[in-house]
Amino acid sequence: MAGALATTGLLLGAYLDFPRRPGASAALAVPEHAAAGSAAPDAAPPERPMSAYTTEFTPGEPRVRNIELAAQILDGHIVEPGTTFSFNDVVGPRTRSRGYVPAPAIMGSRLVKDVGGGICQVSTTLYNAVFRAGLDIRKARAHTMWMPEYPEGREAAVFYPGLDFTWKNDTDAPVRIQAAYTASSLTVSLWGERKYEVQSRTSERYGFKSYGTGEGRGQKCVPMTGRKGFKIDVWRTLSAGGREVRRERFHTEYRAQPRVKCL
C-alpha cells in the first residue's frame, strides 16, 4: 500500500476544528450531492444500536474544523440494504470553497499541510464502527504511517477522488450513521439490525524499521519527532447463531516516520 500511495502521490489526511455537542444536529448547509442516498424525511430510521466508536484529538487545531464539516454531512445518512456506501461520494471534495482549511496530512512518509487535512479521522472512526458492526468492508487502506489517534491496523485513509473507503450494508434493514463530536473527540454510531456477532484480535507489532532524519522548508513543512515503522495483523471473526461464518485478516505495513526539522 505504501508504494502505491507514494507512486500515485495521493495525500492521505491525518488530522482535524470546532467542537459540537454529541448528538447535535448539523448547522452547516449540506451540498446537494452529499444528501444523495439519504432517507426521505418521512422515512422511519432504524432504532437498534449496532456499534459505536470514538477517537480523540487535540482541541483547537485547524484539522478539527475539517472533521466537523465531514461529520455534519455524515450525520443522519441512511445506507439502504444491499447498497454500498462510498465515503468520497457522500462527503464530496475537500476544498476551500466548501469550508475546509489547511492542516497536516500524510504524503508518503512525511506530513505536509494540505486543505482538508484530518478528514481521515472521520473515515477511520466510521471504519471502526463498521468493523464492530460486522458489516461488509469492501475497500479500505491504512495510512502509510501510523498515528496514535487510530487503532493499529484498523483505519481507512481517504483522498478525494481516488482513495476511497467503501462498505456494503449486507443486512436486511437500513443502517443509519450518527456522527457527534465534542471539543476533543469524535464518535460515530451505527443504527440498524445486526447480522453477525464480531470478535477481533490484533497481533503484536513486528518487522520494525528504524527511522532517519530530515529537514523541510516553507509553509507546508510539518515538524516530526520520528517513529519506527512496523507490521501488524488484525483478525475479525463473524459468527451467527453460535457458528463461525467468516474470518478475515487485515495486514498493514507502516512506514518509519523520520525526525523532521522545519527550517
**Which of 177, 194, 78, 180 has the alpha carbon at shortest distance from 133?**
194
Distance, in Å, from the CA atom of 134 to the CA atom of 199, rounded to the nearest integer, reads 9
Q: What are the start-end ranges of the H helices in the chain? A: 2-8, 63-74, 87-91, 120-133
Q: Is 259 left (phi over 0), alpha (psi -120 to 50) or beta?
A: beta
> What is the value of pTM for the model shown?
0.80
Cell of 47: 432504532
Residue pLDDT tens, the chain, 263 long = 334 333 333 333 333 333 333 333 332 333 333 333 444 445 554 469 999 999 999 999 999 999 999 999 999 999 999 999 999 999 999 999 999 999 988 777 677 889 999 999 999 999 999 999 999 999 999 999 998 889 999 999 999 999 999 999 999 999 999 999 999 999 999 999 999 999 999 999 999 999 888 888 787 788 888 889 999 999 999 999 999 999 999 999 999 988 888 98
Distance, in Å, from the CA atom of 169 to the CA atom of 175, rounded to the nearest integer, reads 7
Q: Say if residues 156 and 118 touch (Cβ distance below 8 Å).
A: no
Torsion angles phi and psi, residue 129, rounded to 5: -65, -40
Give, as one character, the DSSP assignment of residue 114.
E
